[in-house]
Amino acid sequence: MERLYSWPWVEAQVARTTEVWNAGAGRSALGGVQYSVQEQRRREKAYDEALRAVERELKRTPRSDAERLQTQARITAAFARFSATALGLEPDAINLLTNVFLPVGTKLARWARRFDPSLSMPDIVQACRNAWTACGLQPLLGESVGLTSSILGYSLLYPYSDNYLDRGDVSGEAKLRFSERFRGRLRGDAVFAGDDREAAIWNLVGLIEEQYPRGDYPEVFDCLLAIHRAQEQSIAQMENSDKFDDAQVLAMSCAKGGSSVMADACLSHGWLNPQESRFSFEWGVLLQLGDDLQDVRQDLERGSVTMFSRAASIGKPLDSLVLQLISFSERVGARMDDLPNGTAMLRELLRMSWRSLIIGAIAESHAFFSSKFLEEAERCSQFRYGFLRARNKKLASRQGLYATLFDAFLEAPEDGGNKNPLPEYRKIAWLGAEVGLA
């Protein structure tokens, strides 16, 4: 059977997406809504009020399930007030965030802790981010929003594999051996798990196979193999960064980001038409480039090469790249509008989140922009940049407190009216390791 999403297909999509990216060059201004200092201060006040409300709740110690639910409800209400005042969201959008997307994250986190109690909060938050992307795609593809077995399995795959592949104490040879074994499991080969990490990964792939049998849904596994190959390229990029030119760096970012969200889309729907596959690929590229912008300082420190870190390393202001990224986000939005499904409210919420990701990232990476551009960008931000940096520093200093917030949602009792139950959890012994299995 011919593979639909083969690597040549990915390369062709990268070339098309690169053309879209290049078409956005030459933009001279950010555009969009601008905010006065007075409006920014009003929103900052709502931010701080929500923060204080959450911190007050976390200082209490609920003594029963009923009290835990009440605490969770009060924290959710504080977020709703913040969303209305600080972010300017309408009631329908707030309801979507608090009553649909937030429960998806809570549900995933609870199952993840049952599956592997050693998973850290950052690992689970990383998985939640992917699940929220998949759930954002579901209504655009004509599906109802919900955490499925396959989205759960895929979202948890990469905290395991990425963390291993990012480790500095693991040799390149060992990483390649693991990557080859992982590829074999994704192909459906009979590869036995050699350690706890592989046993967990193999079982997460099993969740995908359970929902989408290989013989009936080959596109799903084509997508998984595509993102795996893109991850392998990313490893090579880290180890041989001086051998790649700017066009190659962009191509690798496109392949990694595009194939990742393509997989989300395929797992949300089982299959995609050409219009859906192109949109999801470009959305993935947008998210990848947004993450690269957010991580430019860390990438410089660890020697990871992206378009943004490469420009910053030679002292080139990132102004023009960010303007190009804004143009690209608008083109992705236009592609989204061509899809027949999804509400206008969801589309607007996604557009706002894409722009906020970019405008907010400038605040932390302010050293890499011209002063004139920073002034323009700050006027496009709902919060002043100095305020954002100060609050981010404050949040970083209170990680213990917000780990308590994380646990508070996990400890609250499950909603008995759940229409989409997660896989049952049991333990098996596999080569001496006890792991979760659906």
Whether 72 and 409 have beta carbons less than 8 Å apart is answered as: yes
Q: What is the DSSP letter of 416?
A: T
Q: CA-to-CA distance for 234 and 248, rounded, in angstroms?
A: 11
Q: CA-to-CA distance for 157 and 87, rounded, in angstroms?
A: 32
Q: CA-to-CA distance for 195 and 201, rounded, in angstroms?
A: 10
Q: CA-to-CA distance for 35 and 27, rounded, in angstroms?
A: 21
Instruction: Kindly report whether the global pTM for this prediction surpasses the value 0.85.
Output: yes
- Three-class secondary structure of residue 171 per DSSP: coil
Residue 430 phi, psi (nearest 5): -135, 105
Q: Domain ranges in the chain?
A: 7-27+89-379, 31-87+384-419
Q: pLDDT tens track of the chain, all 438 residues?
A: 456 788 999 999 999 999 999 999 999 999 999 999 999 999 999 999 998 998 888 777 777 778 878 888 888 898 899 999 999 999 999 999 999 998 898 899 988 988 888 888 889 989 999 999 999 999 999 999 999 999 999 999 988 887 777 777 877 788 888 889 999 999 999 888 888 889 899 999 999 999 999 999 999 999 999 999 998 887 766 666 667 888 999 999 999 999 999 999 999 999 999 999 999 999 999 999 999 999 999 999 988 889 999 999 999 999 999 999 999 999 999 999 999 999 999 999 999 999 999 999 999 999 999 999 999 999 999 999 999 999 988 887 777 766 777 777 777 666 544 455 556 544 433 443 444 444
- Three-class secondary structure of residue 434 per DSSP: strand
Residues 6+ apart with CB under 8 A from 57: 71, 74, 75, 78, 408
Q: Which CATH class is domain 7-27+89-379?
A: mainly alpha
Cα dihedral sign for 272, 276, 281, 284?
negative
Whether 13 and 227 have beta carbons less than 8 Å apart is answered as: no
Whether 11 and 281 have beta carbons less than 8 Å apart is answered as: no
Beta-ladder partners of 437:
426
Element (DSSP H or E) covering residue 252: helix 246-269
CA angle 230/231/233 to nearest 5° reads 65
